[in-house]
Amino acid sequence: MNRKEFLTNSALGVVGLTSLLTASCKNATSETKSPDATSVTADNFELNETTISDLQEKMASGKYSAEQITKMYWQRIEDIDKKGYALNAVIELNPDALAIAKTMDDERKAGKVRGALHGIPILIKDNIDTA
């Protein structure tokens, strides 16, 4: 097989595979959609579309604490990733996250803010080595 035939066959294979996967995804989502999934939308999450600056302002004003924000995002992960759509995209949560958030809140109360990410919970993609 020459290069041109290989590229043509590969392109046809990709188109066919894409069509097959698209069709199977449409069927799978209609069949496996959890009853809870319909109630879990981006619109009903209070921190939807919230920026880091917005979160910092809310913590500075006292509307939220880092601990409250962390709990809200944990609940969001539970609602969508574990229940709702059951994506299982989040492999692990730091068991010390709430304790760290409380420490950040205590520092903020004492007048120490480390920087723009002080008290902001961060989700790290699993292919990032954090050790």
Distance of alpha carbon 29 from alpha carbon 23, whole angstroms: 10
Q: Write down the pLDDT at residue 102.
A: 98
Kindly report the pTM of this predicted structure: 0.65
3-class secondary-structure state, position 73: helix
Q: Which of 25, 17, 121 minimizes the C-alpha distance to 69? A: 121
Tokens representing 45 are 């999450």
Q: Write down the pLDDT at residue 124.
A: 85
Does residue 33 or residue 6 have the better pLDDT? 6
Residue 44 has phi, psi (to 5 degrees) of -95, 10
Spatial contact of 104 and 66, defined as CB atoms under 8 Å apart: yes
Per-residue pLDDT of 79-117, as tens digits, reads 888 888 888 888 889 999 999 999 999 999 999 999 999
Per-residue pLDDT of 18-75, as tens digits, reads 444 444 444 444 444 444 544 555 568 899 999 999 999 999 999 999 999 999 999 9
Q: Which of 97, 107, 39, 89 minimizes the C-alpha distance to 72? A: 97
